[in-house]
Structure 1
Amino acid sequence: MLGKPTLSAIGAIVAATAAAAQTSPPYPQQPVKLVVGFAAGGPSDLVARVFADQAAKSLSQTVIVENKPGANAVLATEAVAAAKPDGLTLLAAATNHTMIPALYTGRIKFDAAKSFVPVCTLASSATVLVVGPSMPVKTVGEFLDRVKARPDTATYATPGQGSSPHLATEQFRKLAGLSMIHVPYKGAAPAVTDLIGGQVDLSFATVGSVLPHIKSGKLTALAVASRQRSALLPQVPTFEEVGIKGFVIDTWYGLLAPAGTPVEALRVLTREANDFARSPAVRERLAGAGLEPQGVCGEPFVAQIAREIDANTRIARELNLKTE
C-alpha cells in the first residue's frame, strides 16, 4: 500500500515543475502562419500583412500570410479550426466570421464561437451611410424625411444578398422604421459605381471603400455607425449623435486561434496585438486604406463576437437568408 506523499516530496515536485516551466522554450519556436479567407489585396489581407511584418520583427520569427479564399472565408476558417492548437496557425478573421453561422446553418465543419479563442482585434473600419446624386440630402434628418415620404421607392445597394452591408442596412431600416428596395450586386465595386452614377440611391459601406469618393464630392456621407466619430471623417456625425440609438456596425479585423491554444502563446499574441494597435507607423499604413488600428482583446472580444453572432442570426432568420 502506498503511503501519502511527504511534504518534502511535494516540494520537490513543485520545484521540478517550476524549473521545467522556466526552461521550456519561449513561443514561437517555428514560423507562424496567418490564414486569410480572402484574396490578396483586400482589407483583411492588408491588416494581416502589416501585422505579420511587425510581429516578425518583434518575435524574431517568420510570420507567413497564406491566402485561402472561398465561400465567404469558410474554407480558411475550416482549415484553421482543424489545425493543431499550438499557436502556429491563426485565422486572420473579420466581421464576416460572425455571419457564417447564420448563413451556412448545418453546412460548416466548425463552430464559429467554440472552435476558436478570440485573441484581439487588430483594426477596424467604420461603416458609413453614403448617398449618391439621386438622393439630394445632406443630413440624416433630411434623408429620413425624404425616404419616409416616399415608401418603397428609395433603393439601397449592397455587395450581395447576406453580405455585411445588407444585414447592416436591414438593422438600420428596422430601427428607423423605413421601407426601401434592396439592390444586390456582385461585389462592392459595382455597387459603388452605380451609386455614383445615380442608378441607386444609398449604401452602407466601409469608410475605406468610399473615402476617395466622399473627398471628391461624388458621394455624401451622412453618418457613421460607430461609437465615436471616425478619425478619417471627423466632420461626419455618428448615428447616436443624430438620434438613432444603438446602431453600431464597425467592421473589425482580428486574430482567432484554434480552441486549446496554449495560454503562453495567447499571452504573446495579445502583447503583439496591443503593440500593433499603439504603433504610429501602423496607424499611418492603415489610414491609406480607410482603416484604423484597434485592440479589443480577451473577454471583451469574446463577448463582442457572441453578440454579433446572435444579432446576425436573428436578422438572417427574419429575412430567411441562406447561402448556397
Structure 2
Amino acid sequence: MQRRHLLGGGTAAALLTALGASARPAFGQTAPVRIVLGFAAGGSVDGVGRMLAEQIGAGLGRTAIVENRTGAAGRLAIEAVKASAADGDTLLLVPQGPMTLFTHVFKSLKFDPMKDFAPISRVCIGDYALTIGPSVPAKDLAGFRDWLKSAGDRASYGSPGAGTIPHFIGVATARALGVPMTHVPYRGSALAVTDVAGGQIPCMFSPVGDAIEQHRAQRVRIVATAGSTRTPFLDGVPTLKESGIDLDVPLWYGLYAPQAVPAATLDRLRATVVAALGTPASKERLGRLGLVPAPSTAAELTALQQRESAMWGPVVKASGFTPED
C-alpha cells in the first residue's frame, strides 16, 4: 500500500533540510489508519475494532479501517504491526493474551511484547465465559461436569486459537474438573460458537461477547464466567470460582502502535481514543459485546501488562501446560 505521498523536488529538499534525513514519516496524511486484528470478522475483537475505526476516523478526520489478519493465534497480525512503519498509521488491537501470556506458552516468538510496541491505551474490560451447546444435556456447570465424566472422546472444547487465554482457561478447567478435554483451536470465536450451537463441539471458552447473542437466543448456554465477580450483562450466571474452580482471569483489550512512533503521535491517538470511549454511543456498543469502556494512560497499560505477564509464568508452569513451537 502507498503509505506517503511524494513531494515536489524543491519542497522535499526544503523539508529534508529542516527535519534532517532521519526524520520519521509524518502522521495525519491521507493514507487510511489501519487497525490490525489477529482474529476473524464476527467476534468481539472485530466488533471493538470496527467501533474504534469509526471513532478514531471521526476524531482524526481521516479514514480508518479494520484489517483482519488471522492465523497463528493472532501472532501473524502482531508480527505485521511490528514490521510496519512507525508513523502511527498502523495500530494493533489485541486481547491481553498475546501481550501477557504468549511468552510463557510459545517457545519462540518473533516479537517482544514489552519492547516492540508502544502502548496507547487499554480500551475495554470484560469477562471470559464457558459456553455449552445443545449436544450437552446440562443447564449449569455441575451438570456439565456430570456429562463430561461419561463423554469419552466427545469431551472437547473450542477456543479462539492455540495458546490464547481461553485455551489456557480450558486447560485449567479440565484439570480442575478431573476430566481430560481435547482442545479444538479456531481462528477466532465466531466459527467456534457456530459449531457449539450446531452441536459439532460441545463447548467453548471465549470472551463473553463472542457468545452472548447466541446465549440470549437460547442456541447456546453460558454456564460460568472467569472473572472475580459476576458479569453485569448476564442474569444468574455464576463465576467459575463460585462453582468450585479457583480461576480469576479478567479480560481486557489494548491498543498499541509499533515502537518508535513519535510521542506526539501517540498522545494524539490516545486522546482520540479516550474521547471516543467516553461517549454514550461507545458505552452502548461495547455493552452489546459484554464489555465496559476502560481507557488508561500508557504507563497504566504497561504496568498492567507487566503485572499479568509476571503472574502467568508460574501459573502456566504449575498447570503442566507444555509450551508450543
Q: TM-score range by the shorter chain?
A: 0.7 to 0.9
Q: Which residue is equivalent to 1:30?
A: 29
Distance apart, 1:58 and its partner CA: 2.4
The DSSP-based 3-state class of the residue aligned with 1:126 is strand
Instruction: Provide closer, same or farther for how the CA distance between residues 295 and 227 of structure 1 changes in structure 2, counting only shifts above 3 A.
Output: farther
Which residue number corresponds to residue 172 of structure 1? 173
Which residue is equivalent to 2:13? none
CA distance in 1, matches of 2:212, 2:28: 41
Structure 1 residues 203-212 or 310-319, which shifts more? Answer: 310-319
Deviation per CA, 1:191-210: give whole Å up to 9, x if none.
44554455654332322332
Asked whether the equivalents of residues 131 and 202 of structure 1 are also in contact (C-alpha less than 8 Å), the reply is: yes
Alpha-carbon deviation of 1:302?
1.8
- Code of the residue aligned with 2:278 in structure 1: it is R
Distance 1:193 1:53, change over 3 A: closer
Q: 1:255 Cα shift? A: 0.8
Does 2:61 match 1:60?
yes
The alignment's TM-score, normalised by the length of structure 2, stands at 0.72
Once the two structures are TM-superposed, the CA of residue 83 in structure 1 deviates from its matched residue by 3.6
Structure 2 CA distance for partners of 1:273 and 1:178, relative to 1, 3 Å: farther
- Amino acid aligned to 2:73: N
CA distance in 2, matches of 1:210, 1:116: 30
Q: Do the aligned residues in 1 keep the contact of 2:102 with 2:163 (CA within 8 Å)?
A: no
Q: 1:18 matched to which residue of 2?
A: none
Contact 2:129-2:205 within 8 A present in 1 as well: yes
Could you tell me which amino acid in structure 1 is paired with residue 280 of structure 2? P
SS at match of 2:320: helix
The question of whether the paired residues in 2 share the 8 Å contact of 1:123 and 1:292 is answered with yes
Corresponding residue for residue 223 of structure 2: 222
Q: Does the 8 Å CA contact 2:106/2:323 hold for their aligned counterparts?
A: no
Question: Are 1:127 and 2:157 matched, yes or no?
Answer: no
Q: Is 2:86 the partner of 1:113?
A: no
Residue 6 of structure 1 corresponds to which residue in structure 2? none
**Residue 319 of structure 1, CA deviation:** 2.5
Identity %: 31
State the AA in 2 paired with 1:322: E
1:133 is displaced (CA, Å) by 4.1
Give the 5 Å matches for 1:1-324. 28-30=27-29, 32-98=33-99, 99-108=101-110, 110-141=111-142, 143=144, 146=146, 155-159=155-159, 161-174=162-175, 176=176, 178-184=178-184, 186-187=186-187, 188=189, 191-196=192-197, 200-242=201-243, 244-250=245-251, 252-310=252-310, 315=316, 318-323=320-325
Q: For 1:64 and 1:201, locate their aligned partners in 2 and report how far apart those are by CA, in whole Å.
A: 35
The change in CA–CA distance for 1:92 and 1:182 in structure 2 (over 3 A counts) is same
Q: TM-score w.r.t. structure 1 length? A: 0.73
Residues 136, 147 of structure 2: 8 Å contact kept: no
Q: Sort the Cα spacing of 1:151 and 1:44 in 2 relative to 1 into closer, same or farther, 3 A.
A: closer
Cα distance in 2, alignment partners of residues 202 and 70 from structure 1: 22
Whichever residue aligns with residue 267 of structure 1, its letter is D
Letter in 1 for 2:265: A
After TM superposition, give the deviation of residue 268 of structure 1 in Å: 2.7
C-alpha contact 1:147 1:178 (8 A) present in aligned 2:
no
Query: Residues of 2 paired with 1:123 and 1:79: CA distance?
Result: 23
- Against the structure 1 CA distance between its residues 103 and 213, is the aligned structure 2 distance closer, same or farther, given a 3 Å change threshold? same
Output the CA distance in 2 between the equivalents of 1:227 and 1:265.
Answer: 36
Deviations 1:120-149 (A, max 9, x none): 1223452112233454444445555x3796
Contact 1:92 1:255 in 2 (8 A): yes
Change (3 A) 1:114 1:147: farther
Equivalence for 1:20: none
**What do the CA deviations read for 1:30-86 (whole angstroms, capped 9, x no partner)?**
354433334555433332232122123223344344444443333332232234434
CA shift for structure 1 position 238: 2.7
Q: What CA distance in whole angstroms lies between the structure 1 residues aligned with 2:68 and 2:149?
A: 47
1:101 corresponds to which letter in structure 2?
A: T
Q: 1:169 to 1:303 in 2, by over 3 A?
A: farther
Q: Which one-letter code corresponds to 1:156 in the other structure?
A: S
- Cα distance in 2 between the residues matched to 1:142 and 1:65: 40
Bigger mean CA deviation after superposition, 163-172 or 233-242: 233-242
Structure with higher Rg: it is 1
Q: How many residues align?
A: 293
Deviation at 1:114, TM superposition (A): 1.3
